[in-house]
Amino acid sequence: MGFTADCLLLFGATGDLAQRMLLPSLCALDADGLVDEHLRIVGTARQDLDDAGYRAFARKALETYLPDYRKPAIEPFLERLHYQPLDANNAMGFADLAAKVGTVERGLAIFLSTAPSLFEPTIAGLVASGLAGEQTRIGLEKPLGTDLATSRHINDAVSSAFPEDRIFRIDHYLGKETVQNLLALRFANVMFEPLWNAAHIDHVQITVAETVGLEGRVGFYDGAGALRDMVQNHMLQLLALVAMEPPASFDATAVRDEKVKVLRSLRKVERDETVTGQYRAGAIGGAAVPGYDQELGRDSDTETFVAIKAHVDNWRWKGVPFYLRTGKRLYERVTEIVVQFRPVPHSIFAGRGARTQPNQLVIGIQPAENITLSLMAKEPGLDRGGIRLREVSLDISMPDAFAGPKKRIAYERLLLDLIEGDQTLFVRRDEVEAQWEWIDAIRQTWDDHAITPKTYTAGSWGPSAAIALAERDGVTWHE
């Protein structure tokens, strides 16, 4: 794991991510005694503030986004905060930033949350000012490019100053408790892994559904779309965790080696295995909402919905489809993984008039964190010459099962690992490039066949073609 940093440098320290996620996460870590008492946090952004001004800014953000029980921790936490204004395009400003950071005896951790256009001048400024030495590691917030070529360009710029073992590429889904629990479910329980293959699993569904629209992300989203925004990173990471082979150990190299094998095994998606959509005006929660073009203020062919039938071509998963679905302005907000098992090979109850249903494992990631396993059981009571079976669920609600631990923001885990140097829950460069290769091929298929988004009404589950994508295989989306 290497050194534990005694200074954390936050680029983009006045941005939306810092206000909603980073500052609350760091305050929670401080309140729970999970960071060293000597850790200093230096924020930097274009906004012209001094230490006192930034602490006032941070106090307002924390009072807004921290839960009430955390608020007594705000004032002690603010003492850790310092600030230095910086225009990343002004190379001279990095000398003042280095002076503000000061001597870092045990090491420096940098969290870089800026526009991609600022990556190169920022890296150059860090090098020139001496802030990219051997005791520095850097965390990179997405987006890391818009395709394979631009991703390589960014990664080349970063790797010119930092070796791979000091680069922490962030996918905040990997910091979510239930996503990490997927590894525990598979590899800490003997009953699942022997069945976790094509012989016993019929298909897998991964859904990331949002009810929100653009929410102030117009500049980024219209140039990205659902495929780049959600599938390329979050959904492919979830797929990799579901499909990976058991790693030799729970460490960064072993886990990421197995994930990249899955990503490299993804089959090219054919024309009839993908559906794109864009929402039109409708209603969410009983309230009228505008269509995408109305929110954007102009016509656009950007997709706000994607459904894909994917295949992992290896021994474990040959012939098992992975159905991926994500979109904005859908019926409800939910992120879940559904593992559909095959039917029993022979039902001994058929002659008694009882029907069995295949087992199903549902892993809820948000908003509810839960794990549900459906089983067949006999209904209580007596029947002449027969038996009645009914599907019942074994439910594990994470908040109920672990009532003591506080609910964590995903960034708490990731920031702590960045400070301490554990790369297990961060994305390696070869993973990123394998993801982009697959995504670029899908976009090329769209271009080759002039595929444009189908419309769907806000508040629905997406275009009807997405339903047909699954149902022609006899599969129904889990809703």
State the helix-helix crossing angle for 236-243 and 252-264, rounded to 10 degrees: 100
pLDDT over threshold 70, residue 205: yes
Residue 183 CA to residue 238 CA, distance in Å, equals: 11
Model confidence pTM above 0.75 = yes
Query: How far is 365 from 409, CA to CA, in rounded Å?
Result: 13
| Among 157-166, 198-207, 286-295, 368-377, the least confident range | 368-377
Average pLDDT over residues 320-343: 96
Whole-angstrom Cα Rg for the chain: 24
3-state secondary structure of 91: coil
Average pLDDT of the segment spanning 221-232: 91
In the predicted structure, residue 173 carries a pLDDT above the cut 60: yes
Compute the average pLDDT of residues 304-315. Answer: 98
Task: Give the residue-averaged pLDDT of 403-426.
Answer: 87
Q: What would the pLDDT profile of 265-306 be if each residue is shown by its tens digit? A: 999 999 999 999 999 999 998 899 999 999 998 999 999 999
Q: Are 209 and 335 contacting, i.e. CB atoms less than 8 angstroms apart?
A: yes
Confidence of residue 106 (pLDDT cuts 50, 70, 90): confident
> What are the tens digits of pLDDT across the range 430-474?
999 999 999 999 999 999 999 999 999 999 999 999 999 999 999
Q: Answer yes or no: are the C-beta atoms of 181 and 402 closer than 8 Å.
A: no
Q: What is the mean pLDDT of residues 12-28?
A: 95
For the stretch 389-426, what's the b/e string if a residue is b when 16 or more beta carbons lie within 10 angstroms of its beta carbon? beeeeeebebeeeeeeeeebbbbbbbbbbbbbbbbbbb
pLDDT at position 20 is 94
In angstroms, what CA-CA distances link 379 with 144, 225, 349, 405?
A: 53, 48, 13, 36
φ, ψ of residue 359 in degrees (nearest 5): -70, 150
Active site residue 311: no
Please answer whether residues 65 and 20 qualify as being in contact, where contact means their C-beta atoms are separated by less than 8 angstroms.
yes
DSSP string, 236-250: HHHHHHHHPPPPSSS
Q: Is the peptide bond before 143 cis (omega within 30 degrees of 0)?
A: yes
The closest of 263, 224, 229, 225 to 243, measured between CA atoms, is 263
How does 272-296 read in b/e, with b if 16+ C-beta sit within 10 Å? Answer: ebbbbbbbbbbebeeeebbbbeebb
Scanning 233-349, the segments in alpha helix (DSSP H) are 236-243, 252-264, 292-296
Sheet strands (E) in 359-438: 360-366, 370-378, 389-397
Mean pLDDT for the stretch of residues 9-29 = 95
Distance separating alpha carbons of residues 254 and 37, to the nearest angstrom = 32
Catalytic residue among 172, 203, 234, 311: 234
Q: Residue 307 has what DSSP assignment?
A: E
pLDDT band at 114 (very low <50, low <70, confident <90, very high): confident
What span, in angstroms and rounded, lies between the C-alpha atoms of 320 and 56? 54
Question: What CA–CA distance (Å, rounded) separates 434 from 479?
Answer: 30
